[in-house]
Amino acid sequence: MLIVFEHPLSPYVQKVKIALGEKGVPFETRMPDIIGGSNLDEFVKLNPRLEVPTLVDGDASIFDSTIILEYIEEKWPTPALLPATPLERARARMIEEVCDTYYEAVNWALMEIRAFQRATGELADRLVGRAAEQTAGVQNWLARHLGTQPYFGGATFGWADVCVAPFVHASATFGNAPAPETPLAAWLDRIRARPSVATTFEAAAASMQGFEMLPQLVASGVFKREYRDHRLEWMLRSGGADIVIEGIRKENIRFTREFS
C-alpha cells in the first residue's frame, strides 16, 4: 500500500492525492509530526527537507510534488494525465510551474495574514489587497490557457487540471474566486464534481478544525511556517519585510532544512 505523508491543506499534497485518485491507485495518508521540530528522526530519513508530500512506495521514498507526479505517471500510465505531444506536455508543465512557484505564494501569504495573523490593521489590508490583485492576474493568465475548452488539456481532465485545481479552489475560499459565468469559473465547478477532487477538498476543509489556535501557536514559537524562496520573495516585494524580520526574531518561521 502506498503511503502519502501529508497535510490535507497543502496544495502540493492535493496534487498528488488527486492524481492517485484519477488513476484509481489506493493509498494511505499520514501526517508527520513536524510541529515544533520534535520526533522528526524517522521522517527525516524519508524526506531530508521535512516537507510534505512524501510518497512511500515499499522501501522507496520520494519527495517533491512534481517528481512524485512524474513517478505516478510512469508507474501507472493509464489513464494518462500528461498530454500526447511534446508541446502539449511542455505547456502543462509550464502551467504547473507557475502555480507551484507563483500562485502558491499568494494563497500562502493570505493564510499567513488571515489564519496566522502575522499582520493586522493597515499592513494586513495592504497585503490582502496585493494578493487580490495578483490572484486576478494569474487567473487571467490561466483563463487564456484554458480558453473555451472544458479542461486545460482540451476534452480530457489531465496534468494541468490536477496542478491548477488546488490553487484556484483555495483562492475561491479566500474570496478571490474566478469571475462568475466565465470559462474558468465553469471549469472550477466542473472539476470540483470529480470524485478525486471532491474527496481531496473535503479532507482539506475538515483539517481546518481548531485553526483558531494557530495565532497562539505561532506567537509561542511552537508552530514554524516554512518560508521557501517564492514565499519569501512574495513577502519582500509585497511589503511584508517586517513580517519576515519579526518571524526570524521570534523564531516562528523556518527556511528549507540544511542537509547533513
Residue 34: pLDDT band by 50, 70, 90 thresholds?
low
Q: Indicate the number of domains in the chain.
A: 1
pLDDT of 159 reads 98
Residue 170 inside a domain? The answer is no
pLDDT of 175 reads 97
Residue 80 inside a domain? The answer is no
Residue 161 inside a domain? The answer is no
d(CA 14, CA 153): 19
Least confident of 41-45, 137-141, 174-178, 200-204: 41-45
pLDDT at 39 exceeding the cut of 70 = no
Mean pLDDT over 160-181 rounds to 98
Residue 196 inside a domain? The answer is no
Residue 255 inside a domain? The answer is no
Residue 12 inside a domain? The answer is yes
pTM of the model: 0.96
Residue 238 inside a domain? The answer is no
pLDDT of 213 reads 81
What is the per-residue burial (b if ≥16 Cβ within 10 Å, else e) of 23-35? beeebebeebebe
pLDDT of 156 reads 97
Mean pLDDT over 175-195 rounds to 98
79: left (phi over 0), alpha (psi -120 to 50) or beta: beta
Residue 21 inside a domain? The answer is yes
CATH value at residue 17: 3.40.30.10
Q: 19 is in which domain, residue-wise?
A: 2-75
pLDDT of 244 reads 97
